[in-house]
Chain A
Amino acid sequence: MRRPFLILGLVLALGLVALWLTGEFAVVQTWLLDQQRNVQNRLAGAVRALRGGQPGALLALLAVCFGYGVLHAAGPGHGKLLIGGYGVAQRVRLAPLAGIALLASLAQAAVAIALVGAGVLALGWTRERLVDVSEQVMAPVGTAAIALVGLWLMVRGIRAMRAAGQGAGHDHHHDHVHDDSCGHAHGPTLSDMDNVTSWRDAAFLIGGIALRPCTGALFLLILCFGLGIGAAGVAGTFAMGLGTACVTVAVAALAVWAREGAFASLPGAGLGSRMAAAIPVVQVLAGGGIAAIAGLLLTQTL
């Protein structure tokens, strides 16, 4: 009963990737662009209403900001690459991964606030200067962190393969994917997943996402501080972060669902040992994909 459900997740994820690769998403992209234009204009209207002291304006601003976050996260982006890739590569449970996705989005909002606070209020930077620092300095650092996560996943996968090749079948390294099963004869099972990723992993995942502030949030903050409604700008930035989190949490869910679907679709006999063989391969492939994309983005920005 559980297996068909898991395999459905794999089919769904592969279907989405195939649609994107074949360009069938063009209609969605056009629609998305129109919506992004609309929400941007509405954001200006909401700021004007708030500045004009209209009743209910703050709630309206928060709602628009939330929508802005959802719409800007809906396109391809670094957060989805990292959370999705990690979710496929590492046999992590959904709850911690979703928690990391949520924390990362809120941290991204906090970084934007700190950057505007330090840059504009303390150092007197112009808007252009601030956006430059964000895109030329902070974004590449974040992308490098993402590339490191990819490389690290590859190293883990290769280590696990080597360990398996030496006939042990188990890797006793502390961060190995199936710690729980070490010492058991049957290897990992479908229900056997990592409960908590290491703090180091979580820090890199959150850092990789948060260090690249959303330009829209910077725009909103600079505008609101300039107009003397800074607190509303800070609240709006966190509302944007929650909107973004909706999308990355959904990506986390799809990644976990698809990954478990892939394992569930392995032939039934000897499932444990087949999974033990498949997990490092998936890890190397997904890690390599993350590292390659992040590396390419890095060469384009530097």
Chain B
Amino acid sequence: MIRHVALTAGLWIGLASGALAHPHIFIDTGVEVIFDDQARVTGLRITWAYDDLFSLMLVEDRGLDPDFDGVLTPEETTAIKGFDMHWEPGYAGDTYALLGEVPLVLSGPAGWTTGYADGRLTSTHLRQFADPVVLAGQPLVVQVYDPSFYTAYRIAQQTLLTGADGCTAQAFEPDREAADAILQAAIDEQAGSTDIEGEFPAIGAAYSEEVRVTCAARS
């Protein structure tokens, strides 16, 4: 009983320091799912639109837009291109793809673009799958979240399905009830084990926003 209470408290504290911490960067995300001519998914193009404050800071950091009119010259646009694309080793890019429940490996960012309009910085980048993914009866799940919750992502744009035939995409807000159920299951599971020092289960993803892509079976 005491162990159960301790574990429950521990898990909530873990969540409190992660999922419930307060974010300092807000990003509106868009997902484009790219299909090849055999209806397989080859990659994802991710769009990030930064909040006004972080955009202002990034532009100001670099001494750009000195006349403060919210427009960058072509030279300034070149200077800021790829500002968010030099990832530290181990950074997963806050984008996670799964086929059903199986995680898929994504490449590092490529083919990036950068834009600045109305005081907001926007960037896009391409993440490719090592092998094209066949959606045979299983949905492709794309989740966007920062495990440390320093950045808050929300899917704010319609998901694009490029080159797809007979596929649909649906965006889901985090289902907190379902996420809480997963958390409870994790607590129950750990309560039976003697490993009180064990790792907290990876439940952050349950609180993320996600896109699910399903395709009709091909005849």
Contacts from A to B (Cβ < 8 Å) = 21, 23, 26, 29-30, 33, 36-37, 40-41, 43-45, 47-48, 51-52, 72, 75-77, 126-127, 215-216, 219, 222-223, 226-227, 292-293, 296-297, 300
Contact = CB atoms under 8 A, between A and B. Distances in A.
Contact of B53 (A33, A40, A297): A40
A23 to B, nearest CB: 4
B149 to A, nearest CB: 10
Taking residues whose C-beta sits less than 8 angstroms from the other chain, chain B's interface range is 20 to 34
B216 interface: no
A244 B215 CA distance: 49
Contacts of B180: 23, 26
B26 A37 contact: yes
B181 to A, nearest CB: 9
Given A26-B177, A41-B52, A44-B52, 11 more contacts: A23-B176, A23-B180, A26-B176, A29-B176, A40-B51, A40-B52, A41-B53, A75-B21, A75-B22, A77-B22, A127-B61
Given A40-B52, A41-B51, A44-B51, A216 B119 contact: no
29 contacts: A23-B180, A26-B176, A26-B177, A29-B20, A36-B26, A37-B51, A40-B52, A41-B26, A44-B53, A44-B55, A47-B53, A47-B56, A48-B68, A48-B119, A51-B68, A52-B68, A75-B21, A76-B21, A77-B22, A127-B61, A216-B24, A219-B57, A223-B53, A226-B60, A292-B9, A293-B13, A296-B10, A296-B13, A297-B13
Contacts, number: 82
Interface string B29-40: 000000000000
A215 B55 CA distance: 16
Contacts of A37: 26, 51, 152
B112 interface: no
Chain A contact residues, majority secondary structure: helix
A48 B67 CA distance: 11
A74 to B, nearest CB: 8
A80 to B, nearest CB: 11
B157 interface: no
B23 interface: yes
A72 to B, nearest CB: 5
Contact of B57 (A26, A223, A292): A223
Choose among B54, B56, B176, B183 the residue with the greatest number of A CB atoms under 10 Å from its CB.
B56
B16 A219 contact: no
Contacts of A51: 68
B68 A297 contact: no
Contacts of A222: 57, 61
Contacts of B26: 36-37, 40-41
Nearest to A219: B57
Nearest to A44: B52
Interface string B101-140: 0000000000000000001000000000000000000000
B61 A226 contact: yes
Contacts of A293: 13
A79 to B, nearest CB: 12
B163 interface: no
A21 B184 CA distance: 11
Contacts of A215: 24
Nearest to A32: B22
Contacts of B52: 40-41, 43-45
Interface in B165-205: 176-177, 180, 183
